[in-house]
Amino acid sequence: MDRQWSGSERAVRDRVTPPIQSRRRRPSQEVRTLATATASKKLLPLGDRVVIEPSAREEMTKSGIVLPDTAKEKPQEGKILAVGPGRILDDGKREAMDVKVGQKVLYGKYAGTEFKVDGDDLLIVSQKDILAIVED
């Protein structure tokens, strides 16, 4: 027979045996853990997502003033490291990707999800967040 606990008994019981925490993680935590734990493995983005290595932030102005971290602009240009297979359309066909690995692109300032792999800052964005391809 299950025992009914009163409020004060439940408080004492919880101090002695803390409640079991769920082992389930939020998806963002799983990606972050996976990215840092498997740094040597190749990243394969899903759908129409693209992995980008952002360009380095400006350390100094043209006149020679050193910028603190808080004054540095967030980069909007980067190199594509991996490309997903493309999104699936309503008719079941896959849409071809417009970008390729190795291209330099411009993307929205606050687009995508940032994460680290082997100490490198990377960004996963949707293809629709890429604004232009930069040709050399």
Per-residue CA distances from 104 to 38, 81, 111, 130 (Å): 25, 10, 16, 10
DSSP line for the chain: -PPPPPHHHHHHHHHHSPPPPP----HHHHHHHHHHHTTTSPP---TTEEEEEEPPPP-B-TTSPBPPGGGSPPP-EEEEEEE---PBPTTSPBPPPS--TT-EEEE-TT-SEEEEETTEEEEEEEGGGEEEEEP-
120-126 vs 113-117, strand pairing mode: antiparallel
On whether the pTM is more than 0.95, the answer is no
pLDDT at residue 64, rounded to an integer: 76
pLDDT on residue 41: 57
Q: What is the pLDDT of residue 20?
A: 58
Domain ranges of the chain: 43-134
* The CATH classification of domain 43-134, taken from the options 3.30.70.3420, 3.40.50.620, 2.30.33.40, 2.60.40.420: 2.30.33.40
Give the closest residue to 85 by CA, choosing from 95, 76, 72.
Answer: 95
Mean pLDDT per block of 10 residues along the chain (136 residues) reads 63 58 51 41 87 81 71 78 93 92 92 88 93 90
CA distance 115 to 65: 29
